[in-house]
Amino acid sequence: MQQRQLGPFTVSAIGLGCMNLSHAYGTPPAPEQAEALLLAALDAGITLFDTAALYGFGANEELVGRVLAPHRSRFTLASKCGMTGVPSENGPKRVIDGRPATLKSTCEQALRRLRTEVIDLYYLHRWDKQVPIEDSVGALAELVREGKIHSIGLSEVSADTLRRAHAVHPIAALQTEYSLWTRNAEIAVLQACRELGVAFVAFSPLGRGFLADGLPDLATLAALDGKDIRRAMPRFSSDNHTANLALLSEFRAIAAEAGCSPAQLALAWLLTRGEHVIPIPGTTSIAHLLENVAAAGIQPGVDTLQRLEVLFARGAVAGARYNAATQAEIDTEEFAG
C-alpha cells in the first residue's frame, strides 16, 4: 500500500470510511460482518479509519472502538463532531451544532465510545453557520492543548473558510466529496489544501456506489432500502440515473481496457489528483474492500486519464449531488449553473 501524509501522520493512500457499517444506506450489516470487515481492512494495510458521532448516532464509534481498540497502535483514528443526533419523539434527530461547549461534550462521548485516550484527527463535520468558524476551531484547538485530540480537520467547507480556520490553528485535513462525477473540489479547495499543506480526504470516491457499478439499472435503483440516503439525492432520481447510465457503460469499457474494475479505476484516478489526496471508500463486503485496496497499485496511462476527462467533462453528469435543504447546510464551492 502506498503511504501519504495526513498532518503528523503517515497513513495508507486509501483509507476506510466506516459510515455504511452503521448508517445511511439502509439496514446495516450484522455486527459480526461489520467486525470482520474492520479487521480485514487492518490486515490489508489500511491505516486510516474514518467515523463520526453522527453515524448510527454513536453506534459507529462504538463499533470501531469495540473492534479496533485492541489494535490502537496500528492505525490513525479519525472522527467528527458538530453534527450529531439529539432525542426527539420519533427517535434521534440530526442537528448541526458548532458551539464550543457542544463540540467538547461530543468529544468526551466519542472518547468513551472509541475506547481511546486521544483521537488522532477530529473533524468539524459541518460548519454551523450560526457560529463563527474561528470559535468552533478555537474549541477544537483547546482539545488539542488538553491532549484529547492530536489534530483538527474540517468537512464540506470552502477554500475561504479553510483559510480562516487555518489562521486560528493548523488544519491537518479537509474532507469533502470528490470523485470523477463530483468535481466541485477542483474549483478552489483542492488547490488551497495543496498550498496550506492540508491533506484532502475524498469521501464518496466511488460516487455512492455508482462508479463501482453498484447501481447498473433502474431496477437496482428502485430496490434501494427506504431509508437509503440516495433516495433523496437528485442525481439518483429515475430520470437522472437513466441519463447517467450512458456514462457508466463507457466507464466500464475504459476500465476493462485498463485491465481493472470500474471501482479500481475511480480510486486510481483520485490518487493521480495530488499527493495530498486520500480517498476513503466504504463497503460492507470484504471482497470489495480488497478490490479497493488493490487500486493503490494501479497507474492509469495518459490516454486513459484523457478519456476519463472527456467522459466526465463538466456538465456530463445529470442531477445535483444534494437536494436544496442539504445544499444549504454545506459551505463548498459550486459550479455556476
Q: Which residues are catalytic?
A: 55
Query: Helix H segments across the chain?
Result: 31-43, 59-68, 100-114, 133-145, 159-168, 189-196, 218-222, 238-258, 262-271, 286-294, 302-311, 324-327
Are the C-beta atoms of residues 44 and 33 closer than 8 Å to each other? no
Residue 86 C-beta-side C-alpha neighbours within 13 Å: 8
**Neighbouring residues of 102: CB distance < 8 A, sequence distance ≥ 6:** 81, 82, 84
**Neighbouring residues of 107: CB distance < 8 A, sequence distance ≥ 6:** 81, 119, 122, 143, 148, 149
Distance between CA atoms of residues 166 and 161, nearest Å: 8
Could you tell me the sign of the dihedral formed by the alpha carbons of 297, 299, 304, 310, in that order? positive
Are the C-beta atoms of residues 289 and 235 closer than 8 Å to each other? no
All three cell numbers of 283: 463497503
All three cell numbers of 261: 474494475
